[in-house]
Amino acid sequence: MAPVSAQIITIAGTIICVGLIALVFFGESLAPYGPQQMVGEILLPPSSEYLMGTDMLGRDVFSRIISGTKWSVSVSFIAVSMSMLIGTYLGAFSGYFGRSLDRILMVGMDAVYIFPSFVLAVLIAAVMGPGIGTSSLAVTIVMIPTFYRVIRSITLTIKESGFIEAERAIGASGRYIIANHIAPFYLSSLFVLISLGAAQAILITSGLGFLGLGIPPPNPEWGTDLAAGRMYIMDGMWWLTVFPGLLIFLAVLGFNLLSEGLDAVLNPQIRRL
């Protein structure tokens, strides 16, 4: 990939992601109406007064989508942050110390990794019941192996380097070596994994909401609103599903573009092509 193309992709992804993050913090104040406020007649089509129409309860769809960014994106960010912390910690210690700890963790992570992510998240949510905490936990569990495998691989490679052997020779502890000499090599991969994981987390969170296993109504979550609007598609009320689906698509696209751009910019082998 050419450097200019990588920069364009990175910038485009960054703009979308920054916009989404801004809506997380300021979405409700920017929305013209409250997300649960009944503002007009039910099922009104998009107009100058209601940009994305109204839903089956007379609520402004635009306001609900803008306000729903807080739930859809913030839950995903919480899940990605937790899975990154757990996966990085386990991957670093598993890769460095090895032995029985490494074998046990690898078996467990492989068992989770080979299972389809969304199916596993659905099973977890079905057992624990719908809710914000359940959505975060389900997404966290299915994403831990991704961080674990990458960090473990980096650790296995770096720990055989000469400067690591020198640190061991002077008596440095394993924890000190990981924190001060191996961890810096994680950064470029973590940036890419976080942005890619955010896209996956938004998809899973919205999917759980669509199935009624995620953030419950009347909270304005994209997947939940998408599920509520699907019953009206055959009657021509397209705006109830098109606009929530469009926001999901835009969010996933933004984080995927950011991930792709960061991978090209931060990976020296790709940058030289």
Range scoring the smallest mean pLDDT among 56-65, 140-149, 156-165: 156-165
The DSSP line for 100-135 is HHHHHHHHHHHHHHTS-HHHHHHHHHHHH-SSHHHH
Q: In sequence order, what are the residues at sequence separation of 6 or more whose Cβ sits closer than 8 angstroms to the Cβ of residue 202?
A: 72, 73, 76, 248, 251, 252, 255
Q: Which two tokens stand for residue 117?
A: 């992510």
The tens digit of pLDDT for each residue in 115-154 reads: 888 999 999 999 988 888 888 999 999 999 999 999 999 9
pLDDT the model gives residue 71: 87
Instruction: Assess contact for 29 and 19: CB atoms under 8 A.
Output: no
- Burial (Cβ within 10 Å: 0-12, 13-18, ≥19) of residue 106: middle
pLDDT the model gives residue 114: 84
> 40 in a domain, yes or no?
no
> 182 in a domain, yes or no?
yes
> 42 in a domain, yes or no?
no
Q: In sequence order, what are the residues at sequence separation of 6 or more whose Cβ sits closer than 8 angstroms to the Cβ of residue 225?
A: 55, 61, 64, 65, 68, 240, 244
Give the residue from 213, 205, 273, 272 showing the smallest Cα distance to 244.
Answer: 205
Domain at 209, CATH number: 1.10.3720.10
Residues 38-44 have a mean pLDDT of 90
User: With 60 as the cut, is the pLDDT of residue 155 above it?
Assistant: yes
CA 269 to CA 214: how far, in whole Å?
40
3-state SS, residue 212: coil
Total count of domains within the chain: 1
pLDDT the model gives residue 16: 94
The tens digit of pLDDT for each residue in 73-98 reads: 988 899 999 999 999 999 999 999 87
Cα dihedral 174, 179, 181, 185 in deg (nearest 10): 120
> 139 in a domain, yes or no?
yes
CA 267 to CA 273: how far, in whole Å?
11
DSSP state, residue 50: S
> 176 in a domain, yes or no?
yes
Please give the residue range of the domain that contains residue 200.
Answer: 3-35+52-271
CA 135 to CA 100: how far, in whole Å?
32
> 83 in a domain, yes or no?
yes
> 13 in a domain, yes or no?
yes
CA 265 to CA 4: how far, in whole Å?
10
pTM of the model: 0.88
User: With 50 as the cut, is the pLDDT of residue 272 above it?
Assistant: no
CA 48 to CA 191: how far, in whole Å?
41
Instruction: Assess contact for 210 and 227: CB atoms under 8 A.
Output: yes
pLDDT the model gives residue 6: 74
pLDDT the model gives residue 4: 58
> 131 in a domain, yes or no?
yes
Average pLDDT, the chain: 88
Count CB atoms within 10 A of the CB of residue 235.
Answer: 9
Q: Which two tokens stand for residue 162?
A: 């000469």
